[in-house]
Structure 1
Amino acid sequence: MPESRFEALCHDDLNTVTGVWSDLERSGFVTPFQSLQWIEVLLRTLAGLPNTRFFVVEVRDRHSQSPLMLLPMCLVQHRGYRVVEFASFDVCDLSMPVLAGNDALVDPKDAEYLWQAVVSVLPPADLIEITQIPKQYRGRVNPLACVPGTVPASVSRYEASIEGDPAKIVEGLANSQTRRILKTSNRRLSERGTVRFAVAETREDLDQLFPVMLAQRQERFLELGRYDLLTRSDIQTFYDSAVRSSLSTDGLARMWALFVNDEPIATCLGLVHKQSFTLLIITMAGGSWASCSPGIALLSRIIQWSAEQGLTRIDFSVSDASYKTGLGGRPEAMLELKLPVTTVGRTVHAVGRSLDDLKARLKAHPVLFAFARKLVRSARRSGRRIGTLRLQYKGPTHVIWFNILMPFCL
């Protein structure tokens, strides 16, 4: 395959490629996180962050000028170094281009030439870092997974097929332990009142449920000593805008809730896209409700609802959790690509690798790992918003170092 086949262009304005993007969505392939609707909300609410520049790389066939793919990306200026990233802004769980309808870009022999074309139009940076790269998605090979230099990531994503009789789908997916939990949950919930599953369909529904989701999430993460991304007002605005924009278009982002009498005891925010349901946020009331397992009770009802709507797959998204495998989720390997470009970038990359190695060694010693995790979570509970390293933070040095070294405690 001649190197001259690929030609890349860099667009600083989304409007210049909106037409191409719409055409590729209609006739090609896109994940929900790179759908135009999701990206447009992202740009309205998050892309204005300081020191961040959003852009789109378009790859064409040099001879026919036909668009082959679009890669939403951003340049982030950190203190002392610059990084080119896939446009995630902490709300996109997958890094995969918007692709043309044919599957011609899967030959690993082409990947190096393709990547050279992309790199040739990237803005100057010290490091190129693309994480959460699925090897494939919905049967379509991810060209980024074929790029030389990709390595296995430390996280996996979980999927399950939900084809079959909706009334029996959960029972078929769940393992024996999860079936016992659901049986106990349903009994205990029924004892406390009238159980009702609801889909948010109006602005009034969202006005009620969105604050409940935030409150339940904050309470749970504070209890666990975990950093909660949803404490950020811009992230709250993003998700709120995403679900509200979907009301009028029967669009991407949806909310569901489980009520006992008139009290919402669990909420969920997820995506419905091309016969798939993607789980993003699930929250549940604590206290006396904890023994009723309201979170998994709600998720079981969403799975049944999804099957009733004709959806065929549930994507539990990234990170490990017992309920995902308990409901039939199977792990899918993820990759990442970290390429230093300058001496500064090589230094940043080397430090990052050293910290990853240190975290791996700590994990190999359960007693030390448990102690460090307990200390970090205790600090987060006492500081409430301590949990990630922020440049403006002026607190105790030991807390900063533990938060650098222990992000696996999130």
Structure 2
Amino acid sequence: MLDLAARNSNRPILLEATDRFDFGSDEYRRLFPNASASAFQHPDWLTAFYRNVAPAHDAEPLVVTGRDSGGELQLLVPLVRRKSGDAAGSIEYASLGVTDYVCPILATGIRVGQQTAQHFRDVLGLHAGLKIGPVHHSHLHQWRSLLGVEPSTLDFGAHAVRYGSPYSEWRRINLRPRRAAGLDRKARKLAEAGGLQLELVAPGDVRQALIAARDFRAGRFRGDPLQTAHGLEFYIDVATNGARSGLARTYRLASKDGPVAFVFGLVDGECFRYILLACDYGSYARYSPGFLVLDHVMAEWAADGGTIFDFTIGDERFKADFGCSRTTMHEFRL
């Protein structure tokens, strides 16, 4: 037992570690929507992660759960333990290069007391080290309370933009007149040459779309997880199930001759978290297809009531062209 208790209650919560947990279970589906977490902790994301990504990295599940005296799940921390390589025995968050924002899943109304850090370490047992990252600033307090240490700053940030209203006016200002006019001109030329339409990919068409996206990205990004068998299956898994649950959207910008570009991302309330971009630069480079598809997706998200477009982690220069603000990312180590 430890000093992690429900608000206005002295009932302690028991922490345990397990190598088996069903993220599609009723208890996790009850916890997640009532917890302070992000789309990267959604049942569909974590189920796909442990099915596809963890085994490919020779990492075994290590999930810390916290239940109240009635057995109700109140806290969960998804981790993995490395089984081989230089990091053998080490424990880290269930990220492995695909999860941009890591955080504990903590039920609303649960507070973390001062002795929690030691109990959390105890339940993990002997290990060669614990690494938690990348951590967005909005999740720093939770990790400080749970780990009892201060984070270090990573050498990359996250980038997001909040829309103004109306969207057309926000676009005119934030894309800068020259950039907006240039995109409009290229969109018109492409439409005149062969039509242009932004489509939401249906669940049954996701596999074909992401295979095409993988081929468009071949040789363009170092360490691209989409180029691996397990990475491709992971994103297909999330995108297919997420299209049904509302977690994920895969957009296709197409002309009469076929796909021009794809964008895949996660729906997180009023925020769209962009993850993958793939373009047919061989056929459409002169039209700036990357900028073009992102501009179209941002407009579509605003039309659907979205207020934030999150370009997630990475300091690529193009993000500044969309009026993004940078947030420092962090990492915790024990």
Summarize deviations over 1:89-113 as a string: whole Å, max 9, x none.
Answer: 32211111112113745xxxx4x52
> How many angstroms apart in 2 are the aligned matches of 1:329 and 1:313?
10
Select between 11-20 and 250-259 the one with higher mean Cα deviation. 11-20
8 Å CA contact retained: 1:163, 1:307: no
Q: Distance in 2 between matches of 1:44 and 1:65?
A: 26
- 1:84 is displaced (CA, Å) by 0.4
Matched, 1:92 2:87: no
1:126-141 alignment to 2 at 5 Å?
A: 126-136=128-138
Matched letter for residue 326 of structure 2: P
Q: Residue 77 in 1 paired to residue 79 in 2?
A: no
- For 1:172 and 1:21, the matched residues in 2 are separated by 43
Shift of 1:317: 0.7
Compare CA radii of gyration and give the structure with the larger one. 1
The number of residue pairs the alignment matches comes to 323
Shift of 1:27: 2.2
Identity level (%): 22
What TM-score, normalized to structure 1?
0.71
Deviations 1:190-237 (A, max 9, x none): 34321111111241x33542222011111533xxxx332222101101
Q: How far apart are residue 60 of structure 1 and its match?
A: 5.1
Identify unmatched segments of 5+ residues in structure 1.
Answer: 340-410
Could you say what secondary structure the match of 1:209 adopts?
A: helix
Separation in 1, partners of 2:71, 2:224: 45
Q: Tell me what 1:197 maps to.
A: 198
Instruction: Name the CA shift for 1:181/1:55 in 2 (closer, same or farther; >3 Å).
Output: farther
Structure 2 residue matching 1:279: 3-state secondary structure = strand
- Report the CA distance between 1:286 and its aligned residue: 1.5
Q: Distance in 2 between matches of 1:4 and 1:187?
A: 58
Rate the CA distance shift 1:38–1:3 in 2: closer, same or farther, 3 A: closer
Normalised by the length of structure 2, the TM-score is: 0.86
Within 5 Å, give how 1:371-386 maps onto structure 2.
Answer: none
Given that 2:194 and 2:257 are in contact with CA atoms closer than 8 Å, whether structure 1 keeps it comes out as no
Q: CA deviation at 1:336?
A: 0.4
Label 1:172 to 1:113 Cα distance change in 2 as closer, same or farther (>3 A): farther
What SS class does the counterpart of residue 256 from structure 1 fall into? Answer: strand
Give the conservation status (yes or no) of the 8 Å contact 1:158–1:318. Answer: yes
Structure 2 unmatched ranges of 5 or more: 6-12
Separation (CA, whole Å) in 2 of partners of 1:317 and 1:189: 29
Greater helix fraction, Structure 1 or Structure 2: 1
CA distance in 2, matches of 1:145, 1:179: 42
Q: Which protein has the bigger strand share?
A: 2
Which residue of structure 2 aligns with residue 347 of structure 1?
A: none
Q: 2:327 aligns with which of 302, 322, 332?
A: 332
| Counterpart secondary structure, 1:30 | coil
* Superposition pairs of residues 33-44 of structure 1, within 5 angstroms: 33-44=40-51
Give the whole-Å Cα distance in 2 for the aligned partners of 1:229 and 1:77. Answer: 20
Q: Deviations over 1:54-102 (max 9, x none)?
A: 12112356x8877542110010123354210001132211111112113
Q: Distance in 1 between the 2:162 and 2:93 partners?
A: 28
| Separation in structure 2 between the aligned mates of residue 169 and residue 262 of structure 1, nearest angstrom | 32
Any conservation in 2 of the 1:164–1:307 contact (CA below 8 Å)? Answer: no
